[in-house]
Amino acid sequence: MSQFIINGAKKLSGQVTVNSSKNAAAATLIGSLINQGETTLKNVPQIEEINRLIEVLTSIGVKITKKNRDLIIQPPAVFNLSKINTAAAKKTRSIILAIGALAGQLKNYSIPQAGGCRLGSRTVKPHLFALENFGLNIKATKNHFNISGHELKPAEFVLYESGDTVTENALLTAAQIAGESTLKFCTSNYMVRDLCYFLQKLGVTIEGVGTSTLKVTGLTNINQNIEYEISEDPIEAMFFISLAATANSSLTIKRCPLDFLELELLKLEKMGFQFSLSKKYYAKNGLTVLADITTHPSKLKALEEKIHALPFPGINQDNLPFFVPIATQAKGGSLIHDWTYEDRAIYYPELNRLGAKITLMDPHRVTINGPTKLIAAEVVCPPALRPAAIILVAMLAAKGKSTLYNVYPIHRGYEKLEERLQSIGADIKLVEE
């Protein structure tokens, strides 16, 4: 049980650079399974989520070579799932993407049930409903998905639910089937776009990238030696924006994927948050628009309207929690409606241990009254990445010595976070036990 020891309420300053996206890295790493050639993924985040996926892929015969921040991936001639690393697979929800990635490689196979964050009922039925259109037969047991698909065919259908991983699973399957498939009600979120750009480099034709309808012309044989550079993570950018607002500090946050932060920044602007943007520029993939954000000390006020997530271009569902610590420092009452997950909002009142005034109205909604003076406390990380991260944000802004226990959920998604926080003036120490 690693822990963070934090002496909070330090004025933060300087600059920090946003790392590459956890979710895009996971999608493209598993997506590399459809390529019989050599895939080089560049600028891969060094996080526990990716470490678990590497353990899974190597256990089924994939050769993965690390070279600094790059991964060189070489698939086996035949995948062998008999020795799949089940323990590692159960620690990541991304493993569900292996259903689509292996659909064109194997006729009958089984993968472990997805794990990851505990956020209540996270149904996999949209995945099953989508992939059965291609001819896959998927049966879910207590611990595994059992998949068979002897004659895959292109299809046109609407997704049962507009979700990121279900869109990615459908894309990975369609990419391996000759002919045109039309996928409707897709998300156009950042990780879906990265996967589309990756598949296009493999020779798959995709029309409608950035929209809710994707037309995919797949290939039955993909054998390309390619390099793909993963773009930056808007959720990590939002972590630092939330920290700057909650700690009332001036920071320059470099390489922010602006298209996926625009509404968040607009809401914050209307809350009184002051910031400035650099000139826009492109990520190394030549497609993702970036900008540097410089924050300024601000006097915050609550919004009259509720704050809630929506599919892109709405507030990202993983960015929504970061409004919670910000709202503790805003004058007035805020209502945050986290409709996406049944149980994520139940973790938000953990900030009350730090002096916040948060009332849980139901499993989806909290009210927050501010501003409140945040104080130090000892808290155990909840088993979910973003709720854990917002507790850390609040501790960094709270006066006194705080301890955050069992920080593995944070290391699932953030690379060397304590070192990067130290570089901008935070007093934080990682203690390994």
Q: Final residue of a domain: which of 207, 227, 247?
A: 227
pLDDT on residue 46: 94
Asked whether residue 121 carries a pLDDT value surpassing 60, the answer given is no
298 and 202 belong to one structural domain = no
In the block, residue with structure tokens 């050639």: 37
pLDDT on residue 118: 46
Say what the pTM is.
0.94
pLDDT on residue 433: 76
Residue 115 banded pLDDT, cuts 50, 70, 90: low
Write out pLDDT tens, residues 42-53: 999 999 999 999
214 and 275 belong to one structural domain = no
381 and 267 belong to one structural domain = yes
Q: Final residue of a domain: which of 208, 227, 246?
A: 227
237 and 185 belong to one structural domain = no
CA–CA separation, 167 and 189 (whole Å)? 10
Structural domain containing residue 250: 3-19+232-431
From edge to edge, which strands make up the β-sheet containing 39-42? Answer: 63-67, 70-74, 39-42, 226-229
**Once rounded to an integer, what is the mean pLDDT over residues 145-162?**
92
SS3 122: coil
* Token pair recorded at residue 337: 């409606």
* pLDDT over 90 percentage in the chain: 89
Residue 140 has φ and ψ, to the nearest 5°, of: -95, 125
12 and 74 belong to one structural domain = no
* Token pair recorded at residue 247: 């700690």
Write out pLDDT tens, residues 300-311: 999 999 999 999
pLDDT on residue 91: 86
322 and 310 belong to one structural domain = yes
Q: Which of these, 196, 167, 164, 171, lies nearest to 285 by C-alpha position?
A: 196
Residue-averaged pLDDT of the chain: 94
Asked whether residue 122 carries a pLDDT value surpassing 90, the answer given is no
Q: Identify the weakest region by mean pLDDT among 10-14, 68-72, 92-96, 394-398.
A: 92-96
* Token pair recorded at residue 11: 């004025």
pLDDT on residue 120: 42
CB-count exposure of residue 217 (10 Å: 0-12, 13-18, 19+): middle
188 and 239 belong to one structural domain = no
**Once rounded to an integer, what is the mean pLDDT over residues 86-106?**
92
Asked whether residue 119 carries a pLDDT value surpassing 50, the answer given is no
Indicate which CATH number applies to the domain containing 116.
Answer: 3.65.10.10
261 and 408 belong to one structural domain = yes
Q: Cα separations (Å) of 90 from 61, 112, 142, 239, 330?
A: 18, 7, 12, 26, 39
**Once rounded to an integer, what is the mean pLDDT over residues 83-91?**
91
Write out pLDDT tens, residues 232-244: 999 999 999 999 9
* pLDDT over 70 percentage in the chain: 98
Q: Identify the weakest region by mean pLDDT among 27-36, 102-111, 194-203, 247-256.
A: 102-111
Residue 341 banded pLDDT, cuts 50, 70, 90: confident
254 and 330 belong to one structural domain = yes
Write out pLDDT tens, residues 242-264: 999 999 999 999 999 999 999 99
CB–CB of 396/6 below 8 Å?
A: yes
Question: Into how many domains does the chain fold?
Answer: 2
249 and 379 belong to one structural domain = yes
203 and 261 belong to one structural domain = no
Q: Final residue of a domain: which of 195, 227, 259?
A: 227
204 and 252 belong to one structural domain = no
